[in-house]
Amino acid sequence: MSIGKSLLALFVIPGLLYAIPMAWLMLWIERKMRARMQGRIGPFFYQPFFDFIKLMAKRPIPRSRFDTLWMIGLPVAAIGALLASLALLPVFSTSSGFTGDLVLLIGLIEVPSLCAVLAGFASRSIFGQVGATREAILSITYNLPFLTAIVALATSAKSIRLTDIALVPSGPVRILVVLTFLFCLPVKLRVNPFSLSNAEQEIYAGPTTEFDGPRLALWELAHGLEWVVLTGIVACIALPFRVGSWMGDIALFALLSLILVIMVTIIAAATARLKISQAIHFYLKWSMGIAILAVIMAVLPNLLK
């Protein structure tokens, strides 16, 4: 990938210029649908943007220089990692990528979770620490099937380049991998039934309880970008073809991403929060089982040769 294409992907599409408005749109869709399903009116479409501006304009509580550095640096690192991971996605038919970009993508999408854990402990709040502990436990749990599914997909495609993986024709391995990814979406986005790390009825906002003003605004933006990145990964993996024109490719990518937002929101609004033991049992039994089956089906053709 050339430097020009890399900068275009990072700052324009599917990077900064596309991702931030789409993040606010996805946050609005989630809030609006959840409200309508609960018999409420819900916010106007511009509310997430206004909330961000309002928080950015607030004066935060004065803290020590070290605490201020931590509380600003962690959400900024999360946002940077999410934008960089978006730039790696093979959205267009002309995307080329580079060998090993799959490994880099996996590392980048785990940065926000790690930053959330560090933020919870850095806040020095009991609610933040409980939320950080839950986030760490869940991260280890859901990453087992998630990474196993990625191994199956890479084995089936015989490549660790995202473009090669995304354009491999559909088959049973891809179906099982996409199903595993769909199971992992709610917990990665911290919505029901896996909203354990930020359970507001139990631990307020979890790791971000002590964040305020611009610091909280950055975390809200990072959460919106998580919606864009994670649904985008599933969208790229689920469709083994591209339209051919850049407008058609981005329209298809955005449409499938929004459909995934609607699906996850419906599940979140229709379910109650599980206990952490139930969440662990679900991912180690069902998601891991599907991921292992995907690995077996990916490896089996090579063994039969």
> DSSP letter string over 50-109?
HHHHHHHHSPPPP--HHHHHHHHHHHHHHHHHHHHHHHHS--STT----TTHHHHHHHHH
pTM over 0.85: yes
Ramachandran assignment for 201, one of left (phi > 0), alpha (psi -120 to 50 degrees), beta (any other): alpha
pLDDT of residue 239: 79
Residue type (1 letter), 49: F
Q: Which amino acid is at 46?
A: Y
Mean pLDDT, contiguous 10-residue spans, the chain (305 residues): 65 80 95 92 92 92 85 94 91 78 93 93 86 92 95 91 84 92 94 85 79 92 96 88 78 93 94 90 94 92 70
Q: Of 75, 34, 73, whose CA–CA distance to 52 is shortest?
A: 75
In this prediction, residue 83 carries a pLDDT of: 92
Q: DSSP string of 5-60? A: HHHHHHHTSSSHHHHHHHHHHHHHHHHHHHHHHTT-----TTHHHHHHHHHHHSPP
Give the model's pLDDT for residue 113: 94
Tell me the DSSP string of 108-168: HHHHHHHHHHHHHHHTT-HHHHHHHHHHHHHHHHHHHHHHHHHHHHHHHHT---HHHHHTS
Structure confidence at residue 6 (pLDDT): 67
Measured CA distances, 255 to 44, 54, 196, 232, 303 (Å)? 21, 29, 29, 10, 39
Longest distance between any two alpha carbons in the chain, whole Å = 66
pLDDT at residue 7 in the model = 67
pLDDT at 92: 80
